[in-house]
Amino acid sequence: MLWCLTGLLPARAATQDTCQDTSVSLTRHTDSIRGLGHCIWYLEDPSLELEIGDILGGNAPSFERHEGGVLNFGYTRSAYWTRFDINTRELDSASEWILELALPLIDRVNLYLVQNNEVVQKKQILYGAPWSSRDLQVPNPAFRIALEPDTSARVYLEVSSTHSLRLPISLWAPDAYLQKVSVEEVVRGILLGSILAILAYNIFVAVSVRQASHLWYVLYLVFAAWFISTEQVHGIQLLGDEPGLLHKKYLPYQILGAWFAGLFMARSLLETRIRAPDLDKMVRACLYAVVTTFVLTLFLPTRVSMEWVTIGSVVLGFVLILLSYLAWYHYNRAARSYFFAWTFAVLGFGIYALTVIGYLPLNLFTSYAPQFGLSAQIILLSFALADQIKQVQGEALEWSERALANLRSYQSLFDNAIEGVFQMSLNRRFLTANPAMAELMGYSGSRELIRRSPDVLETCFAEARVRRRVVEQLETRGTVKGIEARYYDLQGRERWATISLHTVYDNDGNPLHLEGTCIDATERHQRQQIEKEREHERLEKELARNSAEAKSQFLANMSHEIR
């Protein structure tokens, strides 16, 4: 859609893109002249003291001819004067033209229209001035210029800015300018609206999934939307002369905030802390650099801060491209979209840089290449996070299948165990019991045992004395091991079992329930009882035999004495 909008620009916008005899020649067929950089002469004013009278009176240094694309002075403390000549020899009547400087963040622009070495028009635009004071209430500084037919005029611009100073100057007929502004407003609305829509959607997703990468992505979108609104002077456009937090002085903090959130998002999305410690060291180094720059920005002039932040952003962009590629290549499929996201963002800023230098023509696409790149990046980052969610869901599904398989295995062991296994609530009721436990207690199944046994301890321990001892040990130690106790099954038969219990606690140390095992000891107890009875019988027989022998010996002795 944006490509279609690009095609809606005036078809003849670039039909006249050269200076004829070092001046701009206007005809009745001229709709616009975009990119007047090759027609411009410029003069640096480092003292900020030059006035139009000094220039017209010959008291200023000579102007230099600019060759190439957009006039670009970078970050500078100086003011600059520019001039170019206009002739209207081929115009039939007086006409109005619009001079546009595509630099929304410029601090001050003074326009002087000079004819016969006299100023016939003088206009000014200041960044902090009320929006209503502008000649045209649009983001880019624009001036109406009234020109008479068959005349020559010279246009002077005095410009200064605390931000990057570049001068993409264009001249428009009113109808063509109206069409151009309409298309640009639609493009700006689509770009900013798409970011806000993606932000709203991802806030919902972040609340739902509660992943760290999504939370950092939402914060990144907040700073990105804040940056675009400030960079395109929507703050002044919406709030007038008090843009508040949308003032351009906050641009360094907006950029650094976006990088801070973006780096944490990269650390979470690329899983560097867990899966790539070496890459994580690079991310942490970048984070330390961002925090240090933020602190320094509080004390540095805005011009220096912006220059340093811009250089750092270029470096960080290439670092994240490298990090995402390495993560994609070695271990993380979700890094694929992340790699292309940062590639598109850097590509957009690269196209704009080539346009400013003069290697690419100035048009709607190249003018908004950074915004296009940022929008593509934001969309691809959403894809990257979606890939991560799918990856996490796949891993969770795999773990669930493994857990289910383990659960089936443990359930099989639980059901087929030869000893009784059970869980008991804190109020002494059965929670679960395996079939062996039900069989030991004389029940047909586990459900019947759970339903018909109101007290586990009374079911398993027939003697009150033993129950009291078990409760005391559980209260003091939390466990009971290997107590052999008598109990009566459902049919009233006396049986014996070796029972162990232990308490299960939660993470805070609070008891949840008890788990226990019950091993049938009836046969062993009966065997021991039989062995005891046999031993008792043997001892009785031996005692009787010894008694008989002693009696015989006594009688023999008495008989001997009588003789």
Enumerate the domain spans of the chain.
19-172, 182-397, 417-526
| C-beta separation of 347 from 18 below 8 A | no
pLDDT in tens, 178-229: 998 888 888 888 888 888 888 888 788 778 777 787 788 889 888 888 888 8
Q: How far is CA 277 from the centre of its chain?
A: 20
pLDDT, position 110 = 93
Inform me whether the pLDDT recorded for 562 exceeds 70. Answer: no
- DSSP category for residue 493: -
pLDDT in tens, 22-53: 688 888 888 888 878 778 899 999 988 899 99
CA-to-CA distance for 208 and 210, rounded, in angstroms? 6
Q: Determine what percent of the chain falls in helix, strand and coil, rounding each to the nearest 5.
A: 55, 20, 25
Inform me whether the pLDDT recorded for 18 exceeds 70. Answer: no
- DSSP category for residue 130: -
Inform me whether the pLDDT recorded for 409 exceeds 70. Answer: no
Inform me whether the pLDDT recorded for 11 exceeds 80. Answer: no
| C-beta separation of 510 from 522 below 8 A | no
pLDDT, position 10 = 36
CA-to-CA distance for 326 and 290, rounded, in angstroms? 22
- The class level of CATH for 417-526 reads alpha beta
CA-to-CA distance for 263 and 259, rounded, in angstroms? 6
Task: Could you please state the CATH topology (level 3) that the domain comprising 19-172 is classified under.
Answer: Immunoglobulin-like (2.60.40)
CA-to-CA distance for 189 and 358, rounded, in angstroms? 28
Cα-trace Rg, the chain: 45
CATH hierarchy code of domain 182-397: 1.20.1070
Q: Long-range pairs for 368-375 at CB < 8 Å and ≥24 separation?
A: 368/187, 368/191, 371/188, 371/191, 371/228, 372/2, 372/191, 372/348, 373/344, 373/345, 373/346, 373/347, 373/348, 373/349, 374/191, 374/195, 374/224, 374/228, 374/345, 374/348, 375/191, 375/194, 375/195
Task: Quickly state the pLDDT bin for 241 (edges 50, 70, 90).
Answer: low
CA-to-CA distance for 115 and 152, rounded, in angstroms? 7
pLDDT, position 554 = 66
- Cα torsion at 406, 412, 414, 418 (round to 10°)? -140
Q: Long-range pairs for 114-117 at CB < 8 Å and ≥24 separation?
A: 114/52, 114/56, 114/153, 114/154, 114/155, 114/156, 115/151, 115/152, 115/153, 115/154, 117/56
Inform me whether the pLDDT recorded for 14 exceeds 50. Answer: no
The total of other beta-carbon atoms located within 10 Å of residue 362's CB is 23
CA-to-CA distance for 227 and 375, rounded, in angstroms? 13
Pick the most confident of 184-198, 223-237, 400-414, 444-458. Answer: 444-458
pLDDT, position 482 = 85
pLDDT in tens, 65-85: 887 777 888 888 899 999 999
**Tokens encoding 75:** 């970050």
Partnered with residue 100 across adjacent β-strands are 142, 170
Closest CA to 42 of 170, 153, 167, 171: 167
Task: Quickly state the pLDDT bin for 13 (edges 50, 70, 90).
Answer: very low
Partnered with residue 514 across adjacent β-strands are 424, 503
Residue range 546-555: average pLDDT?
Answer: 71
Inform me whether the pLDDT recorded for 326 exceeds 70. Answer: yes
pLDDT in tens, 267-290: 888 888 888 888 889 999 999 999
Burial letters 280-293, b for 16+ CB under 10 A, else e: bebbeebbebbeeb
Closest CA to 375 of 399, 344, 401: 344
Task: Quickly state the pLDDT bin for 3 (edges 50, 70, 90).
Answer: very low
Amino acid, single-letter form, for residue 72: N
**Tokens encoding 357:** 């230098």
Count of alpha carbons within 13 angstroms of residue 317, beta-carbon side:
22
CA-to-CA distance for 247 and 425, rounded, in angstroms? 64
Angle between helices 369-416 and 212-231 (to 10 degrees): 170
Angle between helices 335-357 and 251-269 (to 10 degrees): 150
- DSSP category for residue 71: E
Task: Quickly state the pLDDT bin for 19 (edges 50, 70, 90).
Answer: low
Residue 119: helix, strand or coil by DSSP?
A: strand
Structure pTM? Answer: 0.65
pLDDT in tens, 348-398: 877 876 765 556 766 667 777 777 888 888 888 777 777 766 776 777 777
Inform me whether the pLDDT recorded for 2 exceeds 50. Answer: no
pLDDT, position 60 = 85
CA-to-CA distance for 164 and 167, rounded, in angstroms? 10
Residue range 232-261: average pLDDT?
Answer: 81
Q: How far is CA 196 from the centre of its chain?
A: 15
Sorted by sequence, the CB contacts under 8 Å of residue 228 that are 6+ apart come out as 191, 192, 195, 234, 371, 374
Residues written for the chain: 563
**Mean per-residue pLDDT over the chain, rounded:** 82
pLDDT in tens, 96-147: 999 999 888 888 999 999 998 899 999 999 887 887 888 888 888 999 998 8
Output the 3-class SS for 261-286. Answer: HHHHHHHHHCCHHHHCHHHHHHHHHH
CA dihedral (451, 455, 460, 463) positive or negative: negative
pLDDT, position 387 = 72
